[in-house]
Amino acid sequence: MGDFYQNGIITTLHNLVRRPVEDLEADLLEFRKSRPMSLVLPSLYSELEGPALKNIVHELGKVPYLDQIVIGLDRANEEQYRHALEYFSELPQNFKVLWNDGPRLRAIDLLLREQGLAPTEMGKGRNVWYCFGYVLASGVGKSVALHDCDILTYSRDLVARLIYPVANPGFNYMFCKGYYARVADSKMNGRVSRLLVTPLIRALKKVCGPNDFLDYLDSYRYPLAGEFSFRTDVINDLRIPSDWGLEIGVLSEMKRNYATNRLCQVDIADVYDHKHQDLSPEDASRGLSKMSMDIAKALFRKLATNGEVFSTETFRTIKATYFRIALDFVETYQNDAVINGLNFDRHKEEKAVELFAQNVMRAGSYFLDNPMDTPFIPSWNRVTSAIPDIKEQLLEAVELDNQEFRP
């Protein structure tokens, strides 16, 4: 049970009384009359073969207030796409599956690529971006939630609590970020958030000095959570990274576009567990190693756009400061684990910190060597300005795929 303490400069909505999910859903059914709701699920085909997604689909089948579910399917051939349509047919809601690897959506991607407007990298950011485009094109939802498809501990109250702040007409929030405790199987998870993001933000505060953006990021209890919601209007101007910097990129865009009193975070789960990435210390293009690089680059780019000047010496100082703060955090988390009777491997934690420190420096070097790097996917406002009927083309492609291949 969370306390009512408000930390930082955004509102925190706690789970104080374990309100029954049926009560939340009754409210949401009323909100639906003025704010129809959509849910976006970015998925790899491999997740259809795992244990988590089946339960997610089963739980969503009990949700009465969603007007639309949009599933973005990556890495699927035609046979697998057909299977996905059958797999999701259990959902009673209106649902559409975007076959991102199919010929129709590939043709749209090629059209955008010719204009320099297509996402440059495969991955979650690209998948989410196309799903957002479809949500805009369909015009169904006025409030949209997004969560991952690998949540092993999923129950339907997660999506109810996640979308409630932006669906409630009495609230003024444009964006809501989910948070939760990353504890499962008697151990602490969430290494990248615990051992990279928070210590790096604190280090940047020391090196760069007082900074509203860093104070803002430091207000989020779990900045890397893949669960968030917003009013549909937000999507039009959203410019997100196509790499692992997606979550930090979205938070950055919210700070740039809206006052902080329009943003909030909400406690969405007592227990949360999902697929874990390998540390991959031997390969900087995989796992948590790549994730840490992408996140550090996203932070450095954002600070630079706010006027911060970086040099090799600055990044050396940031690395050293980060390393000392992160090691102090390891001791803090060890003590927290002990008092709660959790398992804690200090050696593995410090090995992760050592890798992250190296990647902070590598990210800084990459930033200095690539000053013209523009990893953001263009906003849908820009895309529709260049190709006015692109949403209609996207809508038609998805509809034809779903009609042609649905059993």
3-state secondary structure string, 285-345? CCHHHHHHHHHHHHHHHHHHHCCCCCCHHHHHHHHHHHHHHHHHHHHHHHHHHHHCCCECC
pLDDT score recorded for residue 398: 98
pTM score over 0.85: yes
Over residues 132-146, the pLDDT tens digits come to 999 999 999 999 999
According to DSSP, residue 155 is labeled: -
Q: What is the CATH number of the domain that holds 290?
A: 3.90.550.10
Task: Give a yes or no: residue 2 inside a domain.
Answer: no
With pLDDT > 90 as the criterion, what percentage of the chain qualifies?
80
pLDDT score recorded for residue 55: 97
3-state secondary structure string, 85-136? HHHHHHCCCCEEEEECCCHHHHHHHHHHHHCCCCCCCCCHHHHHHHHHHHHH
Over residues 306-330, the pLDDT tens digits come to 999 999 999 999 999 999 999 999 9
pLDDT score recorded for residue 270: 86
Helices then strands, counting H and E runs in the chain, come out as 16, 10
Residues in a beta bridge with 145: 39, 229
pLDDT score recorded for residue 183: 86
Q: Does position 275 have pLDDT exceeding 90, yes or no?
A: no
Rounded CA-CA distance 15/270 in Å is 9
Question: Dihedral angle at the C-alpha atoms of 44, 45, 47, 51, nearest 10 degrees?
Answer: 170
Task: Give a yes or no: residue 3 inside a domain.
Answer: no
Chain Cα centroid distance, residue 144: 13
Task: Give a yes or no: residue 217 inside a domain.
Answer: yes
Domains in the chain, number: 1
pLDDT score recorded for residue 2: 54
Length, in residues, of the chain = 407
Q: Does position 353 have pLDDT exceeding 70, yes or no?
A: yes
Residues in a beta bridge with 180: 269
Task: Give a yes or no: residue 96 inside a domain.
Answer: yes
pLDDT score recorded for residue 141: 97
Q: Does position 284 have pLDDT exceeding 80, yes or no?
A: no
Q: Does position 56 have pLDDT exceeding 80, yes or no?
A: yes
| Cβ-proximal residues to 117 (8 Å cutoff; 6+ apart), any chain | 378, 382, 383, 386, 387
Rounded CA-CA distance 327/353 in Å is 7
pLDDT score recorded for residue 18: 86
Segments forming the whole domain that contains residue 59: 11-405
Task: Give a yes or no: residue 317 inside a domain.
Answer: yes
Q: Does position 91 have pLDDT exceeding 60, yes or no?
A: yes
Confidence tier at 280 by pLDDT (50, 70, 90): low
Q: 32: closest CA among 143, 121, 198?
A: 143
Do 250 and 228 meet the contact criterion of CB atoms below 8 Å apart?
Answer: yes
pLDDT score recorded for residue 337: 96
Task: Give a yes or no: residue 346 inside a domain.
Answer: yes
What mean pLDDT do residues 103-130 have?
Answer: 93
pLDDT score recorded for residue 3: 76
Confidence tier at 245 by pLDDT (50, 70, 90): confident
Task: Give a yes or no: residue 211 inside a domain.
Answer: yes
Task: Give a yes or no: residue 5 inside a domain.
Answer: no
